[in-house]
Structure 1
Amino acid sequence: MTSQTIAGKKLHQIVDALRYNTLITELVLIHCQISDQGTQYLAATLRYNRTLTALNLLGNLIGAPGTKYLADALRYNTKLATLNLHYNPIGEKGAKYLADALPYNTTLTKLILDTNELAEKGAYHLANVLRKNKALTTLDLKYNQFADKGVQYLADGLRDNKTLTTLNLQINWFSNQGARYLADALRYNMALTTLHLESNQIGGEGAQYLGDALRYNTKLTTLKLYGNEIADQGAKNIGDALRYNTTLTTLDLRSNKIANEGAQYIGDGLRYNTKLTTLDISNNEMGGQGAKYLGDGLRYNTALTTLDLSTNALGGQGAQYIADGLRHNTVTPIIFVTFSGTNYIPYIDSHHIESKLQ
């Protein structure tokens, strides 16, 4: 159910049905204004339900009291694997209730706490989850205003965590210092494979910390750095890391103000990298010269399969440089779009570029 007010008798009917249900495994109640009182009814049933594996309560005006009811249920529930509390004002108190309960839960593997007003103290409580819980593999903490201090708490918890594989810290207002805390954790963490850091403010210095960590980390396979203004300095550090890293397969560098100089560093890294298969460097500030540097790297790279260069001013000459590099490579497909004057080449894959230049 979505966008309905479910309360009173109607909610009781759903709850009663769940008590005896042996078939339904997923319950979706989005924007239903369940509130704390309604959550109490659901939580009472959740304690004993043995079939429900996914519960989506996005946007239901659930605060800290309602979260406490859910947390108490999680201590006893042995089936639920996914809990989505996105866009509920649970706050730092709600985070504490969940943190106190999750060390006892052995089945919940995915927890979505996106836009929950957790702030710095909420991060502190969730760091304890990372230290003690042995089941959680995916934790989505997007848009919670953690800033640097909150990220420090989470990074400390991440150091010794052995189960979490995906962490989303998108839009959390942290700077290069927060990136430094995470980089330090990545040197020790041997479980995390996917890290979302989109739309923060790590800059070139933050990219340096992460690049240094990538030289030694042997687990991370996906790193998302969209919209962090790492610029050419940050591209240098990421490019240097690509020379030595042997596990990263997906790298997102969209919208980072990377110009020709930064493209040179990335191209140099691609020469020696043997693992990266997907690189998104779209919506940056590279021109034809930047395309030449990338094309030179592509001549020697034997791993990349997907390269997105859209929304850069590469132009016709830039397209030729990329095509020249691809003649010695197996990269396909490429999404190649530029909006520089009349040089607009929409969605042309590598074979099409090459055929036009022969």
Structure 2
Amino acid sequence: IGAAGAISLTEALLNNTTTLEIDLRRNVSGYAAVLGASIQLRNNKTLTTLNLNNSKIDSQDIQLLVTVLINNQTLTTLNLSRNMVDDEGVESLCDALRNNTTLITLNLERNKIGSKGAYYLYNTFQNRKMFRTLSLCGNESNLCALIEMLLTVPEDRVRAELNFTRKCIGNEATLLTLNLQSNKIGDEGAMHLANGLRNNTTLQELGLRENDVGPLGAQYLADVLGENTTLVTLILRDNIISDAGLEHIANALNTNKTLNVLDLSRNKIKASSRRHLINMFQCNQSLINVDLTGNGQGDCAVIGAAVEIRNNQNLTTVNLRCSRLGDEGTKILCQALQVNHSIITLDLQSNDISENGAELLAKVLYDNEKLTTFLLGNNKIGDNGAKCLADAFHSNTVLSILDLSANNIGPIGIGHLSLALCNDTTLIKLDLSSNEVGNEGVQLLANGLNKNMVSTSLSTFLLKLSLQLQ
């Protein structure tokens, strides 16, 4: 029976509800086999096994079957091995089985499934582990072997059986992205992944979030990073690499020139890693996005930001509010700001920055021609810090918004700022709330405003303050 005959049968059997068994396998048309199986599946409410092995079924033929599978809740075994199902067919099959709760055995051996289809299988079923048996061997992508294991092997065996990924990844010529989030691969799994990466020349993104990867696993990956020239993104968020693991990765990044995105957030990295972080900052010129947040140390946040600031010339906004920078962190930040001329908004509120940090920031402001918004509220720069910033304003011609609220600034610091206001032509908003301005400070600011109207908000503030002090 060929395609024409199968279509005629379809028209004849479309409304049939009594036929419980019809075998149309081993015909010229794969559609005929699918038609017979679909009729059985629709009419036989107790059918548990469907065998379509070696039935010449392609991805077009399988569309009829998936329309019946969507609502089926009796089938436990489906054999589609030795057919011609490709990525498109697998995608349709996955969509049909997405909410299925009964199928536990699926055989897709020796079809034409590539990396895209294998990855679609993983994305569809990764959180369900519904299959007792999933067979994907003999397909076009070696990635199928890895996906088969991840979707069937109990989690306590994943660590021990990830060794074959060396073949899956090492020989895979088309795989660009591999996301293994939340699979508990541990250090041993990281070792096998690293071995696979040694021979891989295409993988660009590797996601290993929440996988119990510790210092040893980080070392395995770092050894590969030192040699790899294709990986662009590495996600290791929510692991336990700690200070020792960071040291290995930082050392690898001294030579790696291709990695652009590195996520090491929430990895139990502490203060002892400061030297390695600074070394990474000084040596690596390719990283443009580094996430080190959630590690309980201010240095982590600032160095991650500093790397991005220095290397990403398209970055316009930096938000480091409440990052515990202190003056040491501010020093690292300023080194990056000296070479980046694209930052427009800089938020450093609540960071324990003193007059020493303010002096460093003032040096950045001297020649900066881009920064228009600078938020430094709730720090402790004091009068000396205010003086440093005021001196910088004499040469800065772009800053329009400045927040110096809650900074222990008294009349002396206000005096320096008021002198800067006299000649400033760009500042439109200055926040000095919650300082120690006093009557003397109000008068000094008023004098400055007589020569340069800064902002309505500042004028209103001065009026309210003068009334309170009368």
Alignment TM class, shorter chain as reference: 0.5 to 0.7
Q: 1:23 to 1:280 in 2, by over 3 A?
A: farther
Q: Is the 8 A contact 1:75 1:102 kept in 2?
A: no
Tell me, yes or no, if structure 1 residue 145 matches structure 2 residue 145: no
Q: Specify the structure having the higher radius of gyration (Cα).
A: 2
Q: Using the alignment, how far apart are the partners of 2:266 and 2:259 within structure 1?
A: 20
Q: Are positions 1:112 and 2:179 aligned together?
A: yes
Structure 2 counterpart of 1:230, one-letter code: Q
CA distance in 1, matches of 2:398, 2:339: 15
Q: Which amino acid aligns with 1:268?
A: C
* Unmatched tracts of structure 2, length 5 or more: 1-69, 145-149, 408-426, 431-453, 460-470
Q: Which of 269, 272, 282 is the matching residue for 2:335?
A: 269
Is residue 104–residue 131 contact of structure 2 (8 Å, CA) maintained in 1? no
Q: 2:396 aligns with which of 328, 339, 347?
A: 328
Please tell me the residue identity of whatever aligns with 1:273. Answer: V
| Residues 1:196 and 2:196 aligned together | no
Query: Which of 277, 280, 285 pairs up with 1:210?
Result: 277
Alignment partner of 1:260 is 2:326: yes
Partner of 2:248: 181
Per-residue CA deviations over 1:10-54 (Å, capped at 9, x if unaligned) read 99599999937859979669985779945x44x548744698596
3-state DSSP of counterpart to 2:209: coil
Query: How many Å apart are 1:91 and its aligned residue?
Result: 2.4
Correspondences of 1:240-251 after superposition (within 5 Å): 246=311
Q: CA deviation at 1:259?
A: 4.1
Q: TM-score w.r.t. structure 2 length?
A: 0.53
1:91 to 1:220, Cα distance in 2 relative to 1, 3 A: same
Seen in structure 2, the aligned counterparts of structure 1 residues 295 and 181 have a Cα distance that, compared at 3 Å, is same
Change (3 A) 1:211 1:6: farther
TM-score (norm 1): 0.66
Q: Structure 2 vs 1, CA of residues 202 and 28 (structure 1 numbering), >3 Å: closer, same or farther?
A: farther
**Aligned with 1:205: secondary structure?**
helix
Structure 1 partner of 2:129: 61
Unaligned runs of 5+ in 1: 79-83, 341-349
2:170 aligned with 1:98: no
Taking a change above 3 Å as real, the CA distance of residues 124 and 206 of structure 1, as seen in their structure-2 partners, is: same
The secondary structure found in structure 2 opposite 1:269 is helix
Q: How many residues align?
A: 330
The answer as to whether partners of 1:143 and 1:170 remain within 8 angstroms in 2 is yes
| CA shift digits 1:219-277 (9 cap, x unpaired) | 21111111123335x6787799799x556876988698524324531453245222675
RMSD of aligned residue pairs (Cα, Å): 5.5
Aligned to 1:165: 232
- Report the alpha carbon displacement of residue 149 of structure 1 after superposing the two structures with TM: 0.9
Amino acid at match of 1:108: L
Which amino acid in 2 is paired with 1:103? G
Which of 123, 135, 145 aligns to 2:202? It is: 135
C-alpha separation between the residues in 2 aligned to 1:275 and 1:11?
A: 62
Task: Call closer, same or farther: CA 1:200–1:77 in 2, change over 3 Å.
Answer: closer
Distance change (3 Å), C-alpha of 1:280 and 1:273: same
Q: Match of 1:19, SS?
A: coil
> What is the percent sequence identity of the aligned residues?
18
- Kept in 2: contact 1:164–1:191 (CA 8 A): yes
Q: Corresponding residue for 1:346?
A: none
- Mapped to 1, the partners of 2:401 and 2:164 lie a distance apart of 47
Give SS of 1:187's match.
coil
2: CA distance between counterparts of 1:185 and 1:28? 41
C-alpha deviation, 1:167, in angstroms: 0.2
Look up the equivalent residue of 1:60 and give its one-letter code.
Answer: R
CA contact under 8 A between 1:194 and 1:222: conserved in structure 2? yes
Cα 1:24/1:157, change in 2 over 3 Å: same
- What's the offset of the Cα at 1:95? 3.1
Residues 300 and 328, structure 1, Cα contact 8 Å, conserved in 2: yes
Whole-Å separation in 2 of the counterparts to 1:127 and 1:228: 25
Partners of 2:223 and 2:283 in 1: CA distance: 18
Contact map agreement 1:226 1:255 (CA 8 A) in 2: no
**1:6-85 to 2 correspondence within 5 Å?**
9=75, 19=85, 32=99, 37-38=104-105, 40-41=106-107, 44=109, 47-48=112-113, 52=117, 55=120, 56-57=123-124, 58-61=126-129, 69=135, 73=139, 75=141
Deviations 1:273-293 (A, max 9, x none): 226759987796436769845
Contact 1:32–1:60 (CA<8 Å) still a contact in 2? no
Separation of aligned partners in 1, 2:247 and 2:116: 42
Identify the residue that residue 122 of structure 1 maps to in structure 2: 189
Distance 2:290 2:246 in 1: 13
Distance 1:114 1:48, change over 3 A: closer
